[in-house]
Amino acid sequence: MKAGVAWIIGGGSGIGAAVAKLLAAQGWTVAISGRRVEKLEAVAKGNAAIRPYALDVTDSDAIAAIIQTIVADLGRIDLFIFGAAAWQPMDVGDYEFEKFETVVNTNYLGLIRIAGPLLKQMEAQGGGHFAAIASVAGYFGLPRSAAYSSTKAGIINLLETMRSELAPKNIKVRMIAPGFVKSELTDKNDFPMPFLMETDEAAKRIVDGLTQSDRFEIAFPKRMVWLMKTVRWLPYPVFFWLTGKMVPK
């Protein structure tokens, strides 16, 4: 994929910010969005190729307006990356609606709110790349991660559907599934994180996967991916025995 205009949701910190800087260094013009204006401005400071556009993905009207503004300013949106994420560790058996509502509203419904107007724009301009950051946590239901894992599983399922449906419109749908990456979100974790990656290394793998191939799944690190997929393929009696071992006593 040649350099063009990218739009990253969650570009004010973590993986999103690192991806924005890497794309800008490769000649892209990058719009970054998130709720925290000061974070966006800090990422864009001193880099004319990065443009901040504050946005709350739970606000449908704001989303439509921002898409129009970005297109008016930059001409088009060739690559979209959805990286908004809400996460908090949950106690075993905690299914409080309010906690789920916050995570689902951001992680899953945020993507849905953007998809409609953005895909219309991509179709009008002749195509584009539509990517979302899911997680290897979406491959199966993880104990203490019911809200987060279920939204990531929903994103994977949604993107699989979109990949087939949007191909005739020259819109390539991509799914990004990282393992544990150092960030503000993972700093909240109080459990071991195997194969923990540095943010810049994760960003490089994402950018390489997006720009040097058209493949659907960009998942890493491979050891973590195959471990999670192997667990998913186990017969349910074995699967539930194993995940039961993950539940804190």
DSSP labels, 106-147: HHTHHHHHHHHHHHHHHHHHT-EEEEEE--GGGSS--TT-HH
* Domain definitions of the chain by residue range: 5-244
Distance between CA atoms of 50 and 22, rounded to whole angstroms? 11
pLDDT at 212 over 80: yes
Residue type, 231: V
pLDDT at 88 over 90: no
C-beta atoms surrounding 59 within 10 Å: 14
Distance between CA atoms of 216 and 163, rounded to whole angstroms? 8
Quickly state the pLDDT bin for 195 (edges 50, 70, 90). Answer: low
* pLDDT digits 0-9 by tens, 13-38: 989 999 999 999 999 999 999 999 99
Residue range 5-244, CATH number: 3.40.50.720
Quickly state the pLDDT bin for 167 (edges 50, 70, 90). Answer: very high
Share of the chain above pLDDT 70, in %: 93
Distance between CA atoms of 17 and 230, rounded to whole angstroms? 32
Q: Is 33 helix (H, G, I), strand (E, B) or coil?
A: strand
- Mean pLDDT of the residues in the chain: 91
Range picked from 126-130, 147-151, 191-195 for highest mean pLDDT: 126-130
Question: Counting runs of H as helices and runs of E as strands, what totals does the chain give?
Answer: 9, 7
**Predicted pLDDT at 78:** 98
Residues in CB range of 87: below 8 A, 6 or more apart: 103, 148, 185, 188
